[in-house]
Amino acid sequence: MHLCIDWGNTRVKAAFFQEQTLVADYNFSEEEALTGLMALVAEKQPKAVILCSVANHPPELKILLQEQAPLVVLSSNTNLPIMNAYHSPDSLGMDRLAIAVGANAAYPDRNNLVVSVGTAITYNFVHQNKAFRGGSISPGLQLRFRALHEFTDKLPLVSETGDTPILGYDTETSIRSGVMLGIAAEIDGMINYYKEQYSGLNVVLTGGNAGLFAGKLKNQIFADSQLLLKGLNTILRHNVR
Ligand X SMILES: Nc1ncnc2c1ncn2[C@@H]1O[C@H](COP(=O)(O)OP(=O)(O)O)[C@@H](O)[C@H]1O
Question: Closest separation between CB of residue 91 and ligand X, Å?
Answer: 17
Contact 80, 101 (CB under 8 A): yes
Q: Which of residues 4-23 bind ligand X (CB under 6 A)?
A: 8-11
Pick one of 46, 102, 118, 231: the residue that binds ligand PAZ (CB under 6 A). Answer: 118
Q: Which residues pair with 72 in a beta bridge?
A: 50
The count of residues in the chain is 241
- Enumerate residues 6+ apart whose C-beta is below 8 A from 217: 184, 187, 188, 191, 205
Q: Which residues pair with 48 in a beta bridge?
A: 2
Q: What is the CA radius of gyration of the chain?
A: 19
Q: Which residues pair with 113 in a beta bridge?
A: 125, 203
Pick one of 2, 52, 95, 183: the residue that binds ligand PAZ (CB under 6 A). Answer: 95
Under rule CB under 6 A, how many of the chain's residues touch ligand PAZ? 14
Q: Does 122 bind ligand PAZ (CB under 6 A)?
A: yes
Q: Which residues of 140-149 are buried (b: 16+ CB within 10 A; e: fewer)?
A: bbbbbbeebe
Under rule CB under 6 A, how many of the chain's residues touch ligand X? 11
* Whole-number Å distance between alpha carbons of 170 and 168: 6
- Residue 9 annotated as part of some ligand binding site: yes
- Residue 179 annotated as part of some ligand binding site: no
- Residue 8 annotated as part of some ligand binding site: yes
Single out the catalytic residue among 95, 109, 163, 224.
95
Q: Does 46 bind ligand X (CB under 6 A)?
A: no
- Residue 11 annotated as part of some ligand binding site: yes
Question: Which of residues 12 and 71 has its CB atom nearest to ligand X in the complex?
Answer: 12
Residue 229, CA atoms < 13 Å, CB-side half-sphere: 26
Q: Does 93 bind ligand PAZ (CB under 6 A)?
A: yes
Question: Closest separation between CB of residue 12 and ligand X, Å?
Answer: 7
The annotation places the binding site for substrate at 86, 93-96, 171
Chain residues in the site for ligand X (CB under 6 A): 8-11, 27, 118-119, 142, 207-209
The annotation places the binding site for ATP at 6-13, 119
